[in-house]
A = this chain, B = another copy of it.
């Protein structure tokens, strides 16, 4: 089933969802998330109010939809980054730090995107969370295989630790006005604190 095999009905559906999504994005970015009402969005997208909720069960589901699209990009990037090459500490850190660049574009907007993300971030059962988790675990396992990380600690658990440091650094950067530090720099520093504590022991 390729993307082409959509019936007209399905195409129209996609198109309507996209129209609502785009209208919402534009309004969120220009007027802010709270200041934008569902009525504004549906007026701009030229559909009835109820139609919005056919596609996005809650107002902030629109933002979750954005994160989901973004997740797919990240999955591809990480897979490409570590394709065939031996991973190492610095490339791994650089890759993850780079991902955070997304948030630097528009802090006010990002604050809401991130918040909608955090609303689900800790639900182990959410499939989207599982995919993010998997991305991190993949990289950690690579570093364990290469011998850089000690292997006696569960990769899942390490990922949860890393992810929480990562996320909370972004959250702090977004929530404090003015920005309290350079985001990518601080991210690198904090990640290094955790990572370097997990090195394969040369002593012992």
The chain A residues found within 8 Å of chain B, CB to CB, are 118, 121-125, 153, 157-158, 160-161, 163-165, 167-169, 171-172, 174-177, 180, 189-190, 193-194, 196-198, 202-203
A163 to B172, CA, bound (A): 12
Please tell me how many copies of the chain the complex holds: 2
Given the interface contacts A125-B176, A176-B124, A202-B203, does A168 sit within 8 Å of B169 by beta carbon? no
Query: Do A169 and B164 touch (CB < 8 A)?
Result: yes
Query: Do A157 and B124 touch (CB < 8 A)?
Result: no
Query: Do A158 and B193 touch (CB < 8 A)?
Result: yes
Q: Could you list some 23 contacts between A and B, CB below 8 A?
A: A118-B118, A122-B168, A122-B171, A122-B175, A122-B176, A124-B175, A124-B176, A124-B180, A125-B177, A153-B193, A157-B193, A158-B193, A160-B168, A160-B169, A160-B172, A160-B190, A161-B193, A161-B194, A164-B165, A164-B169, A165-B165, A167-B168, A194-B197
A72 to B118, CA, bound (A): 27
A180 to B122, CA, bound (A): 11
Name the B residues within 8 Å of A124 (CB-CB): 172, 175-176, 180
CB A137 to nearest CB in B, in angstroms, measures 15
Name the B residues within 8 Å of A196 (CB-CB): 197
CB A159 to nearest CB in B, in angstroms, measures 11
Return the 10 tightest CB-CB contacts between A and B, nearest first: A197-B197, A164-B168, A203-B203, A122-B171, A122-B172, A122-B175, A124-B176, A123-B175, A164-B164, A164-B165
A166 to B133, CA, bound (A): 18
Name the B residues within 8 Å of A122 (CB-CB): 168, 171-172, 174-176
Most buried by B among A168, A196, A198, A202: A168
